[in-house]
Amino acid sequence: MPTIRRVLLVLGIAFVFSIDSASAALMNFVNAPSSNSTNWGTYVASHHGVVNTNIDFEKPSIPVDQQLNPDAYLASDGVTLTTAGFGSAQSAGDIVFNAGPSGVNTTNAIPGEGLYSPSKYLLKNSAGTGSLTISFNNPVMAVGFFIIDLFRRNDDTQVTIEAFTGANGTGASLGKVAGLQNNFQTNNIYFMGVSSTANEIGSLVFSDPGAGVSGTDSIGIDNIEFAIYSAPPVIPEPSSAALAVLGAFGVAVAAWQRQRRLKLSRVTAG
């Protein structure tokens, strides 16, 4: 009988893990230009995530007009950034400082999340293809970033983000989502982000296949944010706490009764 119980217990545990694995999903935040970032932040906070906002390219170790230093954030934040097709030379990312690539066509504009304040950001100054890979030393629960001045018509190619379980776009793909096509925000910012219910994002790959029939589309990447899951403190249920108190009280009463009987026995013997 004990053997049968152990087998059933193992099967039960395996069933629970299979349910957890099957329920894992990738949540995306790309379809609401005016609230993507706040929706992402609200979701992360409600699922016990701690957000890191250090990757804003403002570190002194990243000079303006120089190639992106892939090790700039590795030591303190556990993040590696790798670019391809970024920068004027189509070789590596250039860090620039201004209010963002500007545009003139605001027809059918979708509201962004406000004017872009001048700062340092990673520039993709070309109509060609490009990618940015954000890798983490340890898996995270969520990651996202802002795109500056994105211009895509309905007949154009779309930028995408894809999450992977491993670093540098390796391991299993957790899902791929595309940005809005009809989206133009002059000097505004557009947030793209994802969150894994299994907290297993090892890297995020942003891909820009080019501006298509729209011609050259210079964009910037800034304020990369990611969140690490922080388990909430375990608070005993009221029933469990009550049982613990009753148990402690019962132990104390039993000890008192033993002492009382011992004293009575000594008095009688004397």
Looking at the DSSP assignment, which residues form a beta bridge with residue 142?
195, 227
Domain ranges of the chain: 25-229
Kindly tell me if the per-residue pLDDT of 57 is higher than 50. Answer: yes
The pLDDT tens digits of the residues spanning 73-114 come to 877 899 998 888 886 554 456 888 888 876 666 666 676 777
CA distance linking residue 54 with residue 226, whole number of Å: 9
Contact by Cβ (8 Å): 168, 205? no
Contacts of residue 63, Cβ cutoff 8 Å, sequence gap at least 6: 95
Burial degree of 54 (CB within 10 A; 0-12, 13-18, 19+): middle
Q: What tokens appear for 126 in the block?
A: 């070309």
CA 135: distance to chain centroid? 11
Q: Which helix (H) or strand (E) holds 104?
A: none
Superfamily of domain 25-229: Galactose-binding domain-like (2.60.120.260)
Q: How confident is the model at residue 7 (pLDDT cuts 50, 70, 90)?
A: very low
Q: Which helix (H) or strand (E) holds 94?
A: strand 94-98
